[in-house]
Copies of this chain bind each other. A is one copy, B any other.
Amino acid sequence: MAAGCHALIMSRIEAPRDELTGNLLDRLRSGLPAEAVLTDPDVTASYAHDMASFCDAGAPAAVVLPRTVEQVQHVMRTATELRVPVVPQGARTGLSGAANATDGCIVLSLTKMDRILEISPVDRIAVVEPGVINAVLSRAVGEHGLYYPPDPSSWEMCTIGGNIGTASGGLCCVKYGVTAEYVLGLDVVLADGRLMSTGRRTAKGVAGYDLTRLFVGSEGSLGIVVRAVLGLRPRPPQQLVLAAEFASTEAACDAVCRIMERGHAPSLLELMDHTTVKAVNDLAHMGLPESTQALLLAAFDTPDPAADLAAVGTLCEAAGATQVVPADDAAESELLLQARRLSLTALEAVKGTTMIDDVCVPRSRLGELFEGIGSIAAKFRLTIGVCAHAGDGNTHPTVCFDAADPDESRRARESFDEIMSLGLELGGTITGEHGVGVLKKEWLARELGPVGVEMQRAVKAVFDPLGILNPGKLF
């Protein structure tokens, strides 16, 4: 190659950032309304990251807010043509950095596509755009006597699209399962801008490979979900909650195993350790029993919840509960749940910063996990509060630390890793419901093994041959 040509090519490749960005913005604006393309750095910076700690985020070249499928297709065609990374976002309430921007990317926010297109009580489905807020959908289907179970703690803010991207869980999973079980079909804009439909709007269907489920939990790395057919359930009766105090987490975990082994179907089964209970009291003066080492909350939304709670109360006592307090009514139940919902916020207040883990083990190993986390906290001289979706074996060990203290920060990170390692040793997974994102991508390879990673990467390449969809996440 002649030196002149080479220089020309180099100068093209290393064209000033502004010129490349200008071209990108011109192209984006050619198919989007002016107000749908944000470029003010102060504004775009506010879209740079989700709610995960310790995950780097870059500076987006632009934030786009499409309102139609066609506009999403235009964005993806533009991104493919110019080889610009695209980071899809919902409400950015995720906890693994999966929605974090990369330098020069297009942040594709789906929040303006927020229409509920259909609710069918006979077919028990809802058809929605991705930006619909979880709580908005829940209330809308509730008016038809229906129930959309997935209830991540951010449900008043988070979007269905984000829930699908991260395969969200919540308190109800022990009875009703996770988001994945409610996604029947999807419309997806592929990396190159083409539109693909997956799945069905029927109760059953086995026509071809289940690409719907492949997209659920794929963290925006395979395509852009622009429409979803969601399965619904009949609205269950109001649940009634019971609280049981234990003198050890071991006894509480034993109670969890007894409850599940006897075939009970609680609509939630949550565990808060002493650290969490104290933190909630400190924050909200709720008068929870600080003498307890573990507070177990069980709920039933069955036809006779009081009878079920009584049976579960007996099992708790047999496992060594020091006190069992069934709520008398919905108001008391709500108060107990409020305490549980405040847990993460309360733990954040302990030292200013938290790292929230999400290790899930077979519930028979839950006691060992709690014990091990206690040892890890002691080893690293850290406060680690644990609240858990105990019925699922899914714990959120939350490391409380002062981010201004480099040594404590280092210990926090190391303890975080040891907790994941322990989870894998116990036959568990590094993430029960929060996803991999940036936070756990090094750990994903350890869980999947080399063959698993190779096949997952190859699947990614099928849908995103240029690697422009949410690069740097998952793998």
Scoring A207, A431, A447 by chain B CB atoms within 10 A of each residue's CB, the highest score goes to: A207
Q: A197-B452, A429-B200 known; A217 and B210 CB under 8 Å?
A: yes
Give the residue of B122, B125, B263, B264 whose beta carbon is less than 8 angstroms from that of A261: B122
A463 within 8 A of partner (CB): yes
Instruction: Please tell me if A22 contacts chain B, counting CB pairs below 8 Å.
Output: no
Q: Which residues of B contact A264 (CB under 8 A)?
A: 234
A205 contacts chain B at the CB level, 8 A cutoff: yes
Chain B min CB distance to A112 (Å): 25
A53-90 interface (Cβ within 8 A of B): none
In whole angstroms, what is the CA distance A264 to B233 when docked? 10
Residues A201 and B362 in contact in the complex (CB < 8 Å), given A235-B263, A257-B122: yes
A286 at interface by CB-CB < 8 Å: no
Instruction: Please give the number of chain A residues whose Cβ is less than 8 angstroms from any Cβ of chain B in the complex.
Output: 88
Give CA–CA (A204, B125) in the complex, Å: 23
Question: Do the beta carbons of B449 and A202 come within 8 Å of each other?
Answer: no
The answer to whether A41 has its CB under 8 Å from any CB of chain B is no
- Which among B194, B361, B436, B449 is the interface contact of A197 at CB below 8 angstroms? B449
**B-contact bits for A193-227, CB 8 A (1 contact / 0 none):** 01111101111111111110110111000100000
A201 surroundings in chain B (CB, below 8 A): 362, 427
B204 touches A360 (CB 8 A): yes
Q: Are B196 and A452 in contact (CB under 8 A)?
A: yes
**Minimum CB–CB distance for A150 against chain B, Å:** 11
CA distance A169 to B203 in the complex (A): 11
Which of A7-15, A290-298, A347-355, A453-461 makes up part of the contact surface? A453-461
Shortest Cβ distance from A122 into chain B, in angstroms?
4
174-188 of chain A: CB within 8 A of chain B: 174, 178, 180-181
In the assembled complex, the Cα of A191 lies from the Cα of B302 at a distance in Å of: 47
A120 within 8 A of B: yes
Beta-carbon contact of B455 and A203 below 8 Å: no
Whether the pair B202, A459 counts as a contact (CB closer than 8 A) is no
**A340 within 8 Å of B (CB atoms):** no
Residues of B contacting A456 in the complex (Cβ-Cβ under 8 angstroms)? 208-209, 211
Query: Is A166 positioned at the interface, with any CB of B under 8 Å from its CB?
Result: yes
Cβ-based interface call for A103 (8 A): no
- Please tell me which one of the listed residues B214, B235, B362, B455 contacts residue A210 in the complex, with CB atoms under 8 A apart: B214
> Residues 419-448 of chain A: 1 if any B CB is under 8 Å from the residue's CB, otherwise 0?
000000001111111111000100010011
Q: Quick check: B435 and A206 within 8 Å, CB to CB?
A: yes
A303 at interface (Cβ–Cβ under 8 A)? yes
Q: Are B207 and A447 in contact, with the CB atoms below 8 A?
A: yes
Does A273 make an interface contact (CB < 8 A)? Answer: no
In the complex, chain A residues 96-127 whose Cβ is within 8 Å of any chain B Cβ = 120-125
> Quick check: A202 and B393 within 8 Å, CB to CB?
yes
Q: Is the CB of A433 within 8 A of B204?
A: yes
B207 pairs with A429, CB closer than 8 A? yes
State whether A363 touches B210 (Cβ < 8 A).
no
CB-nearest residue of chain B to A265: B234
Given contacts A120-B364, A208-B474, A444-B207, contact A462 B455 (CB under 8 A): yes
Closest to A460 in B: B209
Minimum Cβ distance to chain B for residue A94 (Å): 11
Q: Which residue of B lies closest to A458 (CB)?
A: B462
**26 A–B contacts from the bound complex (CB under 8 Å):** A121-B261, A122-B261, A123-B364, A167-B206, A173-B204, A174-B203, A180-B210, A197-B449, A198-B452, A200-B428, A200-B429, A201-B427, A202-B361, A202-B427, A203-B391, A204-B360, A204-B389, A204-B429, A205-B429, A205-B431, A205-B432, A206-B434, A210-B214, A211-B452, A211-B459, A213-B214
- Taking Cβ atoms with an 8 Å cutoff, the residues of A that contact B are 120-125, 145-146, 166-167, 169, 173-174, 178, 180-181, 190, 194-198, 200-211, 213-214, 216-218, 222, 234-235, 257, 260-265, 302-304, 360-364, 389, 391-394, 427-436, 440, 444, 447-449, 451-452, 455-456, 458-463, 474
